[in-house]
A and B are shown apart, each in its own frame.
With several copies, the nearest count.
Chain A
Amino acid sequence: TGLYFPQNEYTETVYVGQPAGAQILQVHAMLDLDSERPHFYLCWSSLRLYSSWFHLDVHTGILSLNKTLEESDFISTSELASLLMCIPVSVPALVVREERSHCINRNALRITLDFVNASLPQCARTDMKELCFPHRDTSNPHIKENRFPGAIRQLRRLTRVNVCPNYTISYSVESESPAPFAVNENTTELVVTAPLDREESECYRLLLVCTVRTDSVITKVETSLDVFVNDEDDNAPYVNGTDMADIVISFNRTKGGSFGTLLVFDRDLTPLYQIDKSHNKYVGTLLSSDPWINKTFDIKGTFREKKTAPGGIRETVHEYQLVLKRSLYVNETRTLQLDYLVNDTTYPGLEGTVLLHFNVTVLPVHVRFANITQMFTVTRRASVYAQVGRVCVENCQQFDGFSITYRLEVPDKNASADLHSCYSAVSITQAPDAMWGLLYVNDSEALRRPECQDLQYVVVAQEEHTQQETSMQIHIILDEGETETETACFLSCAENRRRGDCESVRGLGATTGRCQWRQGTEKGISESYSTCSPDLRTCPDSFCDAVESKDASICPQDCTKEPVIGGHERGLGNGIKAGYGTCYCYSEKCFCEKEDVEEVICDDMCK
């Protein structure tokens, strides 16, 4: 990468009357290769008018004045303007003529000079701190690890060198823990004396001590300086623990599913931001030529930064998981070992790779019912859309990646026509992504016919892709109870606003034949609002299930998309999650309001 600047911002103040030749500051460059020698050149980012005022020593990097600064020079700088200069650094081979070149596209740093329209403070009015240390700039040196010793900063305030001629100023550096830094007494430069290792310490907290001796007094002034160590890819990846994961794929076999986790550590940093420009780039390769494996599996790699326990040095943790590229069929079964090569591509050494092993067992899924037969009870008074019960093949709740469809069949195909018509009483439905079937009353009139006694169905479950089927007997017991005069017309329970009306009505989906009233107890807008429901077990429950979505009047409390008037909170997609007082719904609108609402019509106030 070549020479680099430990510090890419310098700031200093210049005054009227500072003479030509006066030193302002010194910039430094660090070596990347031992053979390099930095040469410093001035270039301009803007305001090039001042190019002739300054001189930069090509070897030492000391910036000094080419002319004495007069009062008139400060008129053009209307306010505390700063002059931006940059110093490209180059290896000897590339000789760059010092001309009005622009800083564009150069390995440049920025110098900001504040023009102060006043003369340089004399010794009596310069305090020790000003004398001792450069302008309090705030950029801390950043040194690359594993590089060469060298000067990183001029400690002396060059603009104040001649302000107090009879003072002698010397510097020393201290730190709580041993740190490879020292001061070059002749040049008063802070020097790093040995290559650094970021994995050992990311930052050195130094204490710079300036000793000012006059004939009678010795004054020590201290300031702290943080020197940061930049990382490079000098550590190979390693496994801390196991490099093998045993994975069993059974019920959940959906595309995108991820299984098992293997960790690979790297003591270097891996920046998330501007990932392409960063170092420590990892590449993974799935070592398999088996087409089935390549079309079925992939490995997903993610990484995060972690701080080690002692010292809190940052390092990287890479996580690798097996991922399904497609959903597996229920009958696919296989056992395999999958090797994955992790390669730290930017690690120069030889051992920059780690091999991970995923032992994978794909089990088939047997679609079957847990029982041979299942019983359900429904009252003959149940309304149409009343929910009878739920059927589900074994482990259906854990299935993912394939779909099961359910259908009802009449066991005795050549039963009489009358008997056949009884079987229209119950039907089955299913939500698009659900793995279970919902039994519901499809024909309430058939339910009530005396000749329709206990109903026996066969429920068939079929796996969509393999067409694998399984079936089970279901026995629906019709609970007699006192039958009522037949009313073909079912209203929506939700329209009723009072307990009396509610419990006297036969509403759509009412499992007992009558709507059920829920009395809210809380003040204000609450999830347990008062309402009239076909079946308080499933409505309202903030979920518009497969039966409820067949007709908006069954359970608008869960399913409505229409406006809701009055204090309420909407459910995530639709329905009423919370309401004020009593919530009731007509086909076009729902209301939530306090219960004691008498019917008041416009009478006298309309006169």
Chain B
Amino acid sequence: RRPKPCSLRELELTVSELGLGYESDETVLLRYCSGKCTAHRRNYDITMEHMMKTGFRKKGRKDKVSNGPCCRPTAFEKDFSFLDNKSRYHTIQNVSAKNCGC
């Protein structure tokens, strides 16, 4: 079946669970991008796939390349402020995606 296309997903978790090192039990709605971009590939990507498998090795190259467009945020939610467990305010940028694209 057609692989799930790249789209915006949501997950509720605490600030501590973001893994940025802040200790705060406040809950945040994390938006992130996931899914396939196979439909956006070009001849370049098919060629890169082939080169990564055999082409580069034959030419003595060890370059690593991405063999397809990546599902990435195309815009971020600006600021997010919260009170940590020691009642101090913090504001962090670009943690959550606003929309996604290949």
Tell me the A residues contacting B by CB distance below 8 Å.
491, 495-496, 501, 505, 524-525, 563, 565-569, 579-581, 586, 588-589, 591-594, 597, 599-603, 605-607
- Complex partner residue of A567 from B22, B42, B67, B70, CB under 8 angstroms: B22
Docked Cα-Cα span, A592 to B19, in Å, equals 11
- Complex partner residue of B67 from A524, A580, A606, CB under 8 angstroms: A606
Q: Return the chain A residue nearest B22 by Cβ.
A: A567
A contact residues around B40 at 8 Å (CB) = 589
Q: Return the chain A residue nearest B88 by Cβ.
A: A569
Docked Cα-Cα span, A606 to B21, in Å, equals 23
Contact B66 A593 (CB under 8 A): no
A contact residues around B22 at 8 Å (CB) = 525, 567, 580
Asked if B59 is at the interface of the complex by the 8 Å CB criterion, the answer is no
Chain B contact-residue range equals 20 to 34
Q: A496-B1, A588-B39 are in contact. Are A606 and B70 (CB under 8 A)?
A: yes
Q: List 8 A-B contacts (CB under 8 A).
A: A491-B1, A563-B93, A566-B21, A567-B20, A567-B22, A594-B21, A599-B38, A606-B68
Q: Give min CB distance, A228 to chain B, whole Å.
A: 41
Contact B2 A495 (CB under 8 A): yes
Given A525-B22, A606-B66, 9 further pairs, Cβ under 8 A: A566-B43, A567-B21, A580-B22, A592-B21, A593-B49, A600-B67, A601-B70, A601-B71, A606-B71
Dominant secondary structure at the B interface? loop
B33-68 contacts to A (CB < 8 Å): 36-43, 45-46, 49-50, 64-68
Tell me the B residues contacting A by CB distance below 8 Å.
1-3, 19-23, 36-43, 45-46, 49-50, 64-71, 90, 93
Q: A565-B42, A606-B37 are in contact. Are A524 and B66 (CB under 8 A)?
A: no
Docked Cα-Cα span, A445 to B12, in Å, equals 41
Q: Return the chain A residue nearest B1 by Cβ.
A: A501
Docked Cα-Cα span, A524 to B24, in Å, equals 11
A contact residues around B68 at 8 Å (CB) = 600-602, 606-607
- Complex partner residue of B38 from A568, A580, A607, CB under 8 angstroms: A607
Q: Give min CB distance, B73 to chain A, whole Å.
A: 13
- Complex partner residue of B64 from A495, A567, A569, A605, CB under 8 angstroms: A605
Contact B20 A566 (CB under 8 A): yes
B contact residues around A505 at 8 Å (CB) = 1
Docked Cα-Cα span, A589 to B43, in Å, equals 12
A contact residues around B1 at 8 Å (CB) = 491, 495-496, 501, 505
Contact B2 A491 (CB under 8 A): yes
Closest 3 CB pairs of A and B: A580-B21, A567-B21, A567-B20
Contact A591 B41 (CB under 8 A): yes
Q: Give min CB distance, A495 to chain B, whole Å.
A: 5
Q: Return the chain B residue nearest A590 by Cβ.
A: B39
Docked Cα-Cα span, A588 to B22, in Å, equals 23
Interface centre among B41, B50, B70, B71 (most CB of A within 10 A): B41
Q: Give min CB distance, A593 to chain B, whole Å.
A: 5
Contact A566 B46 (CB under 8 A): yes
Docked Cα-Cα span, A581 to B40, in Å, equals 19
B contact residues around A495 at 8 Å (CB) = 1-2
Q: Give min CB distance, B1 to chain A, whole Å.
A: 6
Q: Give min CB distance, A581 to chain B, whole Å.
A: 7
Interface centre among A496, A567, A569, A581 (most CB of B within 10 A): A567
